[in-house]
A and B are shown apart, each in its own frame.
Chain A
Amino acid sequence: MIGHKNVALKPIEEEHVSLLVKWGNARGLLRNRSTKRKTCTTEQKEIVNNSGDNPDFLSFMVLHSSAPKGVCEVYDLDWINRGCKINLYLEDRAESVPACGDSALLAILDFIYDSLGMHKATVDLLADDVVMAGLYKKHGFKAEVRRRQHYFTNGQYKTVIEMSLLEEEFEALR
């Protein structure tokens, strides 16, 4: 099982589709926001049922004390350069980030470095997303690229920060 303390990362099942629609349409899943199109049940069901077809993309339901709290994605898996991108979406951040953010992130990182053998994990965040930036920074992530005017939302271009954690940095903090 992939997990840390009271957080478990489980495969996403059809029963989670309604939650995925709700969360997918909420702001925060930066990776999925490029088209600005709202997602629907049919689309999410198809994604869940076809999730095994894409070897470069893994997604998990984040369970905190057995209750679904968010989604974690590992994508753009690059098996030669041993890098990948991660995305952690937690609903109701004010409550869930302090409660299970640390454990969820550590569970993902354990999985990336110990099971997938990755060398580097990268995350893209909006520059004004101080909550998630704080969480990643706490676990050793370093801001390495500041992408100017890279994401268009609410009528303006926003800066995107690319943060990363190398395997040896993760090991040093463990």
Chain B
Amino acid sequence: MNYSKVTLTQIEPNDLPTVKHITNGLLPYLLTPVEFNQSSVNHQYKIYLEDINAYYFSIRGLKDGFKLITLGFCALRNINWVSRHSEVYFIMLGGKCTVPHNSNAKDALGQLLRFAFEEVNLNKVYINVIDGNEIREILGDFGFVAEGSQRESVFKKGRFLDVTVYSLLAQEYREK
């Protein structure tokens, strides 16, 4: 997939140090309790490659107008092929959230949704958002709807946090 601002490509082995850096930088907003070392990231990468219920992408963009760098990662994962839904996984550094309020993040999320609904033919995508991850506004821009809140379902820094589930149906995507 190739668009003007950012490009979604397959994750390559030389992306893995960046995966570690970005993932560990966004730990407060992820289910992962501890930081990854490089070995565990590499191991996880092998699992990704064999996962037939997921598509993982590296988000690449131009820096200073000419140098292509990795900005983050995104995925459709836990795909249910019968009920045609998938979880959206999206991480990009830039503030107190996993989807920063900038045009690159919006462009990348837009491409991922286009892929989900126009290429993979899903009926629904959803995203789980931990309290404190300030992405509600950006999800609203894409038409995501809050389906509810999983009470006290994640333990971080000595307390249980809620997780809000947002979803977008194919019909809503097309209308948008």
Contacts and interface: CB of A to CB of B under 8 A. Distances in A.
B153 A81 contact: yes
Contact of A80 (B33, B84, B147, B148): B33
Interface string B144-176: 010111111111000010000101010000000
A35 interface: yes
Determine the main DSSP class of B at the interface with A.
strand
Nearest to B165: A145
Interface stretch (A62-70, A98-106, A148-156): A148-156
Contacts, number: 67
B26 to A, nearest CB: 18
B82 A120 contact: no
A147 B167 contact: yes
Contacts of A166: 151-152
A144 B83 contact: no
Given A147-B126, A147-B167, A164 B83 contact: no
Is the interface on chain A under 10, 10 to 19, 20 to 34, or 35 or more residues?
20 to 34
A84 to B, nearest CB: 11
Interface in A53-100: 80-83
A147 B153 CA distance: 17
A36 interface: yes
B85 interface: yes
B29 to A, nearest CB: 15
A156 to B, nearest CB: 11
Interface in A97-134: 119-120, 122
A146 interface: yes
A148 B153 contact: no
A164 B151 contact: yes
B124 to A, nearest CB: 6
Interface of A: 34-36, 80-83, 119-120, 122, 142-152, 157, 162, 164, 166
15 contacts: A83-B153, A142-B151, A144-B149, A144-B151, A145-B147, A147-B147, A148-B145, A149-B169, A150-B85, A150-B124, A152-B82, A157-B83, A157-B123, A157-B124, A164-B153
Closest 10 CB pairs of A and B: A145-B148, A152-B83, A81-B155, A144-B148, A145-B165, A145-B147, A80-B33, A81-B154, A151-B83, A146-B147
